[in-house]
Chain A
Amino acid sequence: MFKVTWHNLIARKLRLALSAFAIVLGVAFVAGSFIFTDALGGAFDGIVKGTTADVEVLPRGAGQFDSFGTDARTIPASLVAELSQLQEAEQVVGTDQVQGVFVISKEGKLIGGNGPPGLAFNYNELTAITGDRILTVADGQLPSARDEVALDVDTADKAGYDIGDEVTLVTPGDPPTMKAVLTGLVRFGSEGGLVGATITVFDDQVIKDLFFDGKDVYTNVSLTAAEGVSQVQLRDAVEGVLPEGLEALTGDDFAADQQEIIGEILGFINTFLLVFAAVALVVGTFLIINTFSILVAQRSRELALLRAMGASKTQVNRAVLAEAFVVSLVGSTVGLGLGYLLAIGLKALFGVIGLDLGAADMPIELRTVLLSYVVGVIVTLIAAYLPARRASRISPVQAMRDDVALAETSLRRRFVLGAVMVAGGVALMVAGFAGSGGRGLLLIGLGMLAILLGVALMAPVLGRPIIQALGSAYRGLFGTVGSLATENTLRNPRRTAATSSALMIGLTLVALMSILGQSAKVSTDKAIEESLTAELIVSNATGQFFSTAYAGQIRELDGVASVTTFRQAAAKMGDSQVYLQAVDPESLGAALQLPVDSGSLRGFEDQSVFVSSTRAKSSNIDVGDSVKLNFPAGPMAFDVAGVFPVGGAVAGDFLLTLEGLQRSGIKPEDSLLFISKEPGASEASVRAGIEDVLADNPTVTLKNQKEFADEQKGLINTVLYIIYALLGLAIIIAILGITNTLALSVIERTREVGLLRAIGVSRRQLRSMVRLESIAISVLGAVLGVVMGIAFGIALQRAIADQGIDVLSIPWPQLGVFVVLAGLVGVLAAVLPARRAAKLNVLDAITTE
């Protein structure tokens, strides 16, 4: 029996290729996700380990927070001299690290800055726990004067600066922009690049003058161990002499803490990508099932012959599964390779949003390889099992007949099963909406999957009227060719439905995202229109903080009535990260009308907070309660003065006063300025004044309300485009699936094609017949998908209405475009099968067996 299987595989190279690529693409997505996140993780690991010395001394607690909001605490420089006395220490180096220092390129563009940090520090010659120097001088000299800097090689290259050039920098200090001469280039020790981060190196005294008011302090002190001393021994020795408020961590512990913080973000990215991998796999599974069903149907006569020659049911079953197994191995292998390419593509995609992996390794871990094969093989075997079972039911006597019909499960049974799944899915979604957090999301996701699969099962029945409607249009437009195409689409309802279901799933998600995106944009518009009273807004499009100096300078301008400052930071409440916004309560009213669910702005003082409605609900907080927030510098208690609804101009979990935030040990850096002009002042002159202040700094820009809303909507669009790009892959799979089905159908109908040609159907007519069938399949998928997308979109928007997306807006023209695009997809998918059909030699086709 094995011989037969093997022979089949070799003899049907084309079919092998066609059925394998569904597996290839699904596996590629899984492998690509893992390779990419491994690369990302590797690069971050490289940075963390490459910048950590054997022991790090920090203000207590500072190592456990991510960098959202800068810890204002410092270490007196005298500590370096004290620690140098320790015999266990070899190098003792004080570092001043400043975040938010960015390089402006020669063309006036910001380098990096879309998430990855812009780091500045004084030069050091430390050796990291990796054994490499943290920094080495690659070229030129280290800066030694106030107007001198060194940059890392990549940043200088991207910005187009050479040694001796004047470099423009954006800083979080005062002045907010500065110019300095590039004296040298440094190279970062780790191989994996800087993941988009930029490094600016200052002279030790200069960095203190610029960012620490000239005080002789460091943000951290790093030590390397002397010969034969372990990290732990060194740490214990350091601990012995440390003053109050500081702590020493071994390099390994420090790196582990940092990796944990980064790991959360990476885990999110990985999960995000795996969701798309799952979508791709579900879509791929449809295609594999479909492909094997068609293959088995086409070979049913041969299988019946095997049965007639005495092969048992089990043997036939096994033969089909064995074939699937070999195909899955080949498919998984190719998929793994393609996954590598996909990871490179993801790297480029994420590079667009600033997560630059540079020359980072793309590691193919054993785990990735195993997972790829397991996923590929299991999915294929499951997908092949159903057709295999059907194949084994072929009775031997059918070998004698001309047309072998496989026992098809009745459409009605499928329909009922599908309906049950839809009902179950709806129940899951309802439960998911009632639940919260990851569990709720998982339930909603599973519910959606169940509904999609259910609809896919019902699609042969649901699709009929759609195809028939399309068919009458075809008949009118294309005459006989149109009706031939329609009949071909209808002749195998299950095949048509399964093929279009793949596209349906992709389009459901695309339509869903476009509805949520549109709703978010409209909700943003509404929130800004309703609550914002300030005429002008200064913000940083990339979300980086900026110097507090701007607010002061703008306040001094003629015609400016008030400047309201917003700041942001992260803190912890219990174990969970919470995001804070801070504002001056005095000037809040001049900037916006903060809607308040309960409590009153009158009670808003330095020791009080407002809490967002979602956080109030999820953490069970009410007005009058006291909440404890953990900052790097330690815990702070606040009284809850009120609850604000999510979705207005204020984001985050808590709103506190500027003073309250500063008391918590966060360095003041602004994130938003709301500016109101004096009643008589001309907007143009106020604008001109502010723009003058902001000149030199391309990152911080002035907007009016509409431009501010557009900027916010631009962020939503960026997210949407990334999601579309990823869903695009699922849609590519679907297109290839249509090609696959059509190609197999053309092979199956060779004789018929020959007959049509013999009685005078031209090549062109034949091509358009295949093309019209393809369009029908695509449009069916698109219509079902868009309908489902609308249903899901409405449900999800309702469910998250209290999280800021409170207006439902359905982008009808866009959805229409999707359906039209699907038609074009159909045209594209039909190119090869149509060409194949048209190329068939008439005589060969007629005389084929």
Chain B
Amino acid sequence: MFKSASKPSPSTSYTATAPGSGVAARAFEVRKVYGEGDASVAALDGVSIDFGAGAFTAVMGPSGSGKSTLMHCMAALDTVSAGQVFIGDIELAGLGDKQLTKLRRDKIGFVFQAYNLVPTLTAQENIELPLSIAGRKPDRQWFDTVIDTVGLRDRLGHRPNQLSGGQQQRVACARALVSRPDVVFADEPTGNLDSAASAEVLAFLRRSVDDHRQTVIMVTHDPVAASYTDRVVFLADGRVVDELRNPTADDVLEEMKVLSARSVAGTDSGR
């Protein structure tokens, strides 16, 4: 039903999946267990997955399947119970808080579902924040490119509370991109937005992949959002259960139906 007017023309980029130029982030046999004993929940139960550099990947799955957990573990916000996580060729295990902080600052960008911006800072200051925290000067040309890609040049002086939700998320994306991180993680970046605002944000992420070879990994529940990506990975009960390449919204919807039917059957038979 959201068959999108704003869906990009499929001509150029869909084929550019997994361009062989290496792996931007990798999970290997990752387990994440919350709680202890009987009350323990394995949010991730042996996830192994490679995210290719310069690709736009979607992570999908039912609520509680471990998507956010995977994002957090990969983005150095949380530690894994077992297994390994790599950003580029750096393994996260064994890094101290200082090194993790530095890693997040220099190599990772993050976009949350909401509350992405520091309310006291203007849009521009928010965008420049990761760089200025690191004491680095923004690369003017890249900054301008990012700003133009986001299309917010006339709003740079505004504070978050003077921006719409979609604008705020685009600012958040710009912030995630401005330091040229190796990977950008986005956890339901369009979850709070209507379809038009979603399209703005997704188009922006797509362009950053196409034009600047950015690696983007995005969690979403929305098949239309997933259709912007090069590859969709499906999680269920903390495991990777399937994946699609160059998906259309219909493909995704279809796959979701299949998976949910299978999982219901699976749970039933398990009992």
A760/B120 in contact, CB under 8 A? no
Distance of A480 Cα from B138 Cα, bound (Å): 13
Q: Are A751 and B115 in contact (CB under 8 A)?
A: yes
Give per-residue flags for A748-767: 1 if the beta carbon is below 8 A from chain B beta carbons, else 0.
00011001111111110100
Stretch at the interface among B52-60, B103-111, B224-232, B242-250: B103-111
- Contact string, B99-126, partner A, CB cutoff 8 A, digits 1/0? 0011011100110100111111100010
| Highest count of chain A CB atoms <10 Å: which of B75, B112, B120, B134 | B120
Please determine whether B102 and A760 come into contact, CB atoms closer than 8 angstroms.
Answer: yes
B74 to chain A, nearest CB (A): 13
Bound complex: CA A763 to CA B112 (Å): 21
Shortest C-beta distance, A467 to chain B (Å), equals 13
> B120 is contacted by which of A488, A762, A842 (Cβ under 8 Å)?
A488
Residue B80 at the A interface, CB < 8 A? no
* Given known A480-B133, A484-B121, contact A760–B104 (CB-CB < 8 A): yes
- Residue A487 interfacial (CB < 8 Å): yes
A846 at the interface (CB under 8 A from B): yes
Interface size on A (CB < 8 Å)?
Answer: 25
Contact assessment for A480 and B104 in the assembled complex, using a CB-CB cutoff below 8 Å:
no
Evaluate contact between A758 and B104: CB separation under 8 angstroms: yes
Which residues from B are CB-within-8-Å of A756?
Answer: 118
Instruction: Tell me the complex Cα distance, A403–B129, Å.
Output: 23
Query: B101 touches which one: A487, A755, A761 (CB < 8 A)?
Result: A761
The reply on A491 being an interface residue by CB < 8 A is: yes
From A479, A487, A760, A763, give the contact of B105 (CB < 8 A): A760
Interface residues of B in 63-122 (CB under 8 A from A): 72, 75, 77-78, 97-98, 101-102, 104-106, 109-110, 112, 115-121
CB distance from A756 to the nearest CB of B (A): 7
CA distance A17 to B105 in the complex (A): 37
Say yes or no: B118 contacts A484, CB within 8 Å: yes
B35 at the interface (CB under 8 A from A): no
> At the interface, yes or no: B130 with Cβ under 8 Å from chain A?
yes
Q: B26 an interface residue at 8 Å Cβ cutoff? A: no
Q: Interface residues of B, CB < 8 Å — how many?
A: 30
Task: Closest B residue to A763 by CB, please name it.
Answer: B97
Residues of A within 8 A of B77 (CB): 758, 842-843, 846
A762 and B96 CA atoms in complex are apart in Å by 12
B266 at the binding interface (Cβ < 8 Å): no
Contact of A763 with B120 at beta-carbon distance under 8 Å, contacts A843-B72, A843-B77, A846-B77 already known: no
Q: Do A762 and B119 form a contact, CB below 8 Å, given A479-B135, A480-B133?
A: no
For window 146-203 of B, CB contacts with A under 8 Å fall at: 161, 175
Task: Judge whether A759 and B115 touch: CB under 8 Å.
Answer: no
* Given known A765-B133, A842-B77, contact A755–B116 (CB-CB < 8 A): yes
B39 to chain A, nearest CB (A): 18
CB distance from B177 to the nearest CB of A (A): 12
What DSSP secondary structure best describes chain A's contact surface?
helix
- Measured in the bound complex, the distance between the Cα atoms of B77 and A846 in whole Å is 10
Query: Among residues 218 to 269 in chain B, which have CB atoms less than 8 Å away from a CB atom of chain A?
Result: none
Residue of A nearest to B121 (CB): A487
With an 8 A cutoff between CB atoms, is B132 at the interface?
yes
Contacts of A490 in B (CB 8 A): 120
Q: Which residue of A has the minimal Cβ distance to B134?
A: A760
Known contacts A491-B119, A752-B118; A762 and B98 CB within 8 A of each other: yes
**A483 partner residues in chain B, CB cutoff 8 A:** 125
What residues of chain B lie closer than 8 Å to A762, measured between beta carbons? 98, 101-102
A755 to B187 CA separation, bound complex (whole angstroms): 13
Q: With A and B bound together, what is the CA distance between A98 and B104 in angstroms?
A: 83
Interface centre among A403, A765, A843 (most CB of B within 10 A): A843
User: Which of chain A's residues 744-787 have a Cβ closer than 8 Å to chain B?
Assistant: 751-752, 755-763, 765
Q: Which residues of A are found within 8 Å of B72, using beta-carbon distances?
A: 843
Q: A480: which of B98, B110, B117, B129 is its contact (CB, 8 Å)?
A: B129
Chain A positions 825 through 846: 1 when the CB is less than 8 Å from some CB of chain B, otherwise 0: 0000000000000000011001
User: Among A483, A487, A759, which residue has the most Cβ atoms of chain B within 10 A?
Assistant: A759
Complex Cα–Cα for A491 and B119 (A):
9
Min distance, Cβ B137 to any Cβ of chain A, angstroms? 11
Contact of B133 among A751, A752, A761, A846 (CB under 8 A): A761
Question: How far is the CB of B85 from the nearest CB of chain A, in Å?
Answer: 15
Note all chain A residues with C-beta closer than 8 A to B175: 759
Q: How far is the CB of A299 from chain B (nearest CB, A)?
A: 19
The contact of A763 among B101, B130, B132, B135, by CB within 8 Å, is: B101
Bound Cα distance from A690 to B120, whole angstroms: 74
Give the chain A neighbours of B120 by CB distance below 8 A: 484, 487-488, 490-491
Question: B98 contacts A759, CB within 8 Å?
Answer: no
Name the residue in A403, A756, A758, A760 with the highest tally of chain B Cβ atoms < 10 Å from its Cβ: A760
Q: Are A755 and B118 neighbours in the complex by a CB distance under 8 Å? A: yes
Q: Which residues of B have CB within 8 Å of A751?
A: 115
Complex contact A759–B130 (CB within 8 A) = yes
Which one of B98, B118, B135 has the greatest number of beta carbons of chain A within 10 Å?
B118
The answer for the CA separation of A479 and B135 in the assembled complex, in Å, is 8
**B121 pairs with A759, CB closer than 8 A:** no
Residues of the A chain whose Cβ atoms lie less than 8 Å from the Cβ of B106: 760
**Closest Cβ of chain A: how far from B184's Cβ, in Å?**
12
How many angstroms between the C-alpha atoms of A763 and B98 in the bound complex?
8
What's the Cα separation between A520 and B76 when bound, in Å? 64
Residues in chain B near residue A760, CB distance under 8 A: 101-102, 104-106, 130, 133-134
CB within 8 A of B132: which of A480, A487, A846? A480
| Bound-complex Cα distance A480 to B134 (A) | 9
- Given the known interface contacts A479-B135, A842-B77, A846-B77, the answer about A758 and B110 at a Cβ–Cβ threshold of 8 Å is yes
Partner of A479, one of B78, B110, B132: B132
Q: In the complex, which residues of chain B have a beta carbon less than 8 angstroms from the beta carbon of A763? A: 97-98, 101
Q: In the complex, which residues of chain B have a beta carbon less than 8 angstroms from the beta carbon of A479?
A: 132, 135
Do the beta carbons of B119 and A759 come within 8 Å of each other?
no
Q: Is the CB of B104 within 8 A of A759?
A: yes
Q: Provide the bound-state CA to CA distance between A755 and B111, in Å.
A: 10
Is the CB–CB distance between A843 and B78 below 8 Å? yes
Least CB distance from B117 to A in Å reads 8
Contact partners of B115 in chain A: CB under 8 A: 751-752, 755, 846
**Shortest distance between the CB of A744 and any CB in chain B (Å):** 17
Tell whether, in the assembled complex, residue B135 and residue A759 are in contact, meaning their CB atoms are under 8 Å apart: no
Closest CB in chain A relative to B167 CB, distance in Å: 16
- Interchain residue pairs A-B with the least CB separation, the first 6: A760-B105, A487-B120, A480-B132, A762-B101, A760-B104, A759-B130
Can you name 25 A-B pairs with beta carbons within 8 Å?
A479-B132, A480-B132, A484-B120, A487-B120, A487-B121, A491-B119, A752-B119, A755-B115, A755-B117, A755-B118, A756-B118, A758-B104, A758-B112, A759-B104, A759-B105, A759-B109, A760-B101, A760-B102, A760-B104, A760-B106, A761-B101, A762-B101, A763-B97, A765-B133, A846-B112
Q: Given contacts A759-B105, A760-B104, A846-B77, could you give 16 more A-B pairs where the C-beta distance is less than 8 Å? A: A479-B132, A484-B121, A487-B121, A751-B115, A752-B118, A755-B112, A755-B115, A755-B116, A758-B104, A759-B129, A759-B133, A760-B133, A760-B134, A761-B105, A765-B133, A842-B78
